[in-house]
Amino acid sequence: MSIETSEFVNPRRTADGKEPLLDINTLYVEYLTRRGPAKAVNNVSFSIQPGEVFGLAGESGCGKSTIAHTILRVLKPPAVITGGQILFDGEDVLKMNDRQLEDFRWRKVSMVFQSAMNSLNPVITVGEQVTDVILRHNKVSKKDAYDRAAELLKIVGIEPERLKSFPHQMSGGMRQRVVIAIALALNPAMMIMDEPTTALDVVVQKDILQQIQQLKETMGFSILFITHDVSLMVEFSDYMAIMYAGEIVEKAASKEIFTNPIHPYTQGLLSSFPSLTGKKRKLTGIPGSPPDLVNPPTGCKFHPRCTRCTHKETEVAPQLTEVLPGHWVAVHAGMPLPTGNDRIGQSSVAKR
Amino acid sequence: MDTVEKKLPVGSDPKRKRGARINIPRTSALYTLLGSPKARVGFVIVMLFVLAAIFAPLVAPGDPKEFVGATNQPPSAQNIMGTNPQGKDVFRQLVWGGRLSLLIGFGSGALMVLIATIVGMISGYKRGIVDDILNFIMNLFLVIPGLPLLVLLSAYLKPGTATVIFSLAFTGWAYNARIIRAQTMSLREKDFVAAAVVSGEPVLKIIFVHILPNMVNIIVGGFIGAVIYGIMASTGLAFLGLASTQDVTWGTNLFWAQNGGALMIGAWWAFVPSGLAVALVAFGLALINYGMDEITNPRLIAERDVKSVLRKAKLPRMRATPVVPHEH
């Protein structure tokens, strides 16, 4: 079986005519280094529907966090956005000035940072840090802000009395909940979660993810969820994109990616985690390391690490193509699809 | 089709070109330092004085203490900076004076920072009784008015270059020591220090091999500040007549100009050159300090690079991540 070539179309999802909440279009981000620009995000397009959880996965340094920070325009030098569109509710974030961005950030899109546990100031009480963001963005009295902070803490499952605590008096999980409470403070339409549970143990991780899921159901915000833990992502997100070296290599509904991964990189990622229920097998992982983004390999950027590449010599990079309904992959036409042995866990479900 | 695994060199790119001419590696500290316009100006100024001092016999041949003609002569073809109230050539005095002034400045600066580093780091790392004692001494030196002590020392010790360097270092080390102590106290809590402690490394190795390299920026900054202080203070002392008046330094030049009443009769050429030299060297060193910041804080370099990209694209500076569209 091989993949048919199809005309390159804008790989944006146009799901039943609904307006997407966030619509990222051919986004380019470069880090200016003395060796030349490092293309950290290269021609990335995806969109998130209201109330949806969208997952971005990929190994360290593939540009996941860069995209997250770009949406809020908080990337620090030497980062420069060199092209594309980020439409949020029809407004282009890349055309906003500092003043408009201040309104946009947190009120419309909030963020839970990667080292969320360290993003609390150790010498200020939790209460002050939660009320801070409310007071900064709303014209309310200190008393009202404090009441709201207490309410927020209750929402994330912490007793309001803990507002008087300092961060070091709380456990990692609690601090994480506080950070999520701060992200919820202004009722944003979307929340970016950049590896929010990486530093937590599995039990607390599960707890917090369930909490987020519940909050999402009741409050109706969308989530852009970033992680390198693909199995976690598959469970948590509705739709996901796999990134490699600044590009999206595969994009589909999460279940579809899990059961029917096509890109060799996606398969590598999925086979890097053991399956609890499937039969025992060797964890294969992906040989080699991510490419240098200043001088990336020509053609398909994954080819030096790819075991099934048929186009090693080609200088043309494969385009994201819809190979199955709603399933976009960037592979060369004619690439052999994996046989059963290469497949992760439940390979029998794969073909449909 | 087969799925044969091939070993391919990852990350090698044959198209990558090598630089055509040999130059300073773009990642070296010197390149960074000279890449900053401020530091470049500072470097040129300081090097100008240093080279003039080193090659004084070529730049201004002749004995600076030689009596060359009438007193207080304005600049002329014969004496390009005129003569001072003692009838000595001002240009020779300026160039030769730089030798001792710079030697005292850099010498006392180095000594100050050496004492400050050792005392500050041991005090900050050891804590407890050692810290109490060393900290007390530091505070003592901070509250003792420096200049009177300096005057006292200079007056009682045998005049000479070594004396000046020693007394400057003796009175001026405490300020940097306090800064280094504070930074050491902060760094000693880091995990890499804890790792060094549990792996059984000796205290001195932890202090000077693990902690010291993390505060090179503070030490170099302190050194530059100390050199400025050394030059300024030694000039001040000499101007007050507390250095050996037999030596030729920028300070003694000013002393003789004042002594001979150059200020009163308006012979500006007698005191402006040496005064300006002190000010310019201090200015140049301060500029180099800015460049130092960039070496130790690469984010500043990145900011500068992005600013220049924005300037080229004629885009306004903003706090948010800039958008610079270009073809892909």
Nearest CA in chain A to B323: A81
Phi, psi dihedral angles at A154 (to 5 degrees): -60, -40
Interchain contact, A81 vs B11, CB within 8 Å: no
pTM of the model: 0.71
**Are the Cβ atoms of B326 and A83 closer than 8 angstroms?**
yes
Q: What backbone phi and psi angles, to 5 degrees, belong to A112?
A: -110, 115
- The token duo for B37 is 């316009």
Place of tokens 């600049």: B75
Looking at the DSSP bridge assignments, the partners of residue A91 are A88
Reference A43, options A19, A26, A62, A63; nearest CA is A26
What would the pLDDT profile of B89-107 be if each residue is shown by its tens digit?
888 889 999 999 999 999 9
For the segment B247-290, what is each residue's pLDDT rounded down to a tens digit? 889 998 899 888 888 888 888 888 889 999 999 999 999 998 88
Q: Distance, in angstroms, between B5 CA and closest chain A CA?
A: 5
Domains, chain B, in order of start with CATH, read 102-296 (1.10.3720.10)
DSSP letters of A330-346?
---TTPBPPPGGGS-S-
Give yes or no for B323 touching A (CB within 8 A).
yes
Torsion of CA B170, B173, B178, B179, to 10 degrees: 180
Cβ–Cβ gap A82/B325 under 8 Å: yes
CA of A94: which chain B residue's CA is closest?
A: B323
Question: Any bridge partners for residue B323, and if so which?
Answer: A81
> What is the CA B281 to chain-centroid distance, rounded?
9
A43 in contact with chain B, both atoms CB, cutoff 8 A: yes
Q: Where are the alpha helices (DSSP H) in A172-283?
A: 172-184, 202-219, 230-236, 254-259, 264-270
Q: pLDDT tens digits for chain A (352 residues)?
A: 344 433 333 444 444 556 788 999 899 999 888 778 888 898 899 989 888 999 998 888 888 889 999 999 988 888 889 888 899 888 888 888 888 888 888 888 999 887 766 788 888 999 899 998 888 888 888 888 899 899 888 888 888 888 888 988 888 888 888 998 898 888 889 999 988 877 778 888 888 888 888 888 888 899 999 988 887 888 888 999 999 888 899 999 988 888 888 888 888 888 777 766 666 777 777 777 778 888 888 878 888 888 777 777 777 788 888 888 888 888 887 666 654 444 433 333 333 3
